[in-house]
Amino acid sequence: MIEDVFKAIPLGILLAFTIGPVFFVLLETSAIKGFRAAFSFDLGVVLGDIAFILIAYFSTNKILHKIKDDPSLFIFGGILLITYGVISFIKCKSDYKKDIRNAINQVVVKRNYMRLFFKGFLLNFINVGVLGFWLGIIIIFGPKLEMNDDRIFIFITTILITYLFIDCIKILLAKQLRNKLTPKRIFKIKRIISLILVLFGFVLVLQGFFPNEKQKIENVIQDIRKR
């Protein structure tokens, strides 16, 4: 069991530093809204991971590979991500004006933690690549763990706990910037994050329209690693 824990910790660290939409939004939420808001968002992300883990564990490999590589899912997820990014980009201006009014009137902004929780869940769940990650974990490490339910549970739980621990450190570091954030700087950060979300959405759509090109790139990367 201890060996399983030590094997899982590096994967949790890898997951925490995987660059994706969640990574940037987590840092933005921490810097702008504080630790509890970012942690609520992160718990929603973990729920999305748990949903994918259950799909990966209780479905057959054949069905999972079909879902993971279905181009329409990449296109659908990409469109959702682009839509979310565009709406966030447009909404930035009204939020900027609201932040200035709150600063002038010294209004204490209430945090809707439940909303942030569901935001984290949805933002993670529409990323098909996360399903691919957990599918790989189950396929690669499942046989090594003898497909023992208890060992797999401890292994995956350790990954998620490590992920949350590393994210808490990231949240605390990002929070240090909070005192330096003026409404104008917050406005710029939100716009940059919105554009990043749109970019990730376009990448997902392109993967859906050109699945063969994606496979060629993966093969080239694998060949480079073997050299």
Of 132, 176, 140, the residue nearest 18 (C-alpha): 132
The whole-number average pLDDT for the span 135-151 is 80
pLDDT at 222 over 60: no
The whole-number average pLDDT for the span 91-119 is 65
pLDDT in the model for residue 225:
42
pLDDT in the model for residue 165:
94
Higher-confidence residue: 107 or 137? 137
pLDDT per position as a tens digit, 172-211: 888 777 666 666 766 777 788 778 778 877 877 887 776 6
Higher-confidence residue: 61 or 54? 54
177 backbone φψ class: left, alpha, beta (φ>0; ψ -120 to 50): alpha
Q: Most confidently modeled of 55-64, 106-115, 201-210? A: 201-210
pLDDT at 129 over 50: yes
pLDDT at 101 over 60: no
- Answer whether 0.85 is exceeded by the pTM: no
Higher-confidence residue: 132 or 22? 22
pLDDT in the model for residue 226:
47
pLDDT in the model for residue 49:
92
Nearest 5 degrees, angle CA 160-CA 57-CA 75? 85
The whole-number average pLDDT for the span 56-85 is 66
What is the distance, to the nearest Å, from the Cα of residue 3 to the centroid of all Cα atoms in its chain? 27
Q: Tell me what the pLDDT averaged over the chain comes to.
A: 76
pLDDT at 25 over 90: no
pLDDT at 72 over 80: no
pLDDT category of residue 155 using cuts at 50, 70 and 90:
very high
pLDDT at 80 over 80: no
pLDDT at 89 over 90: no
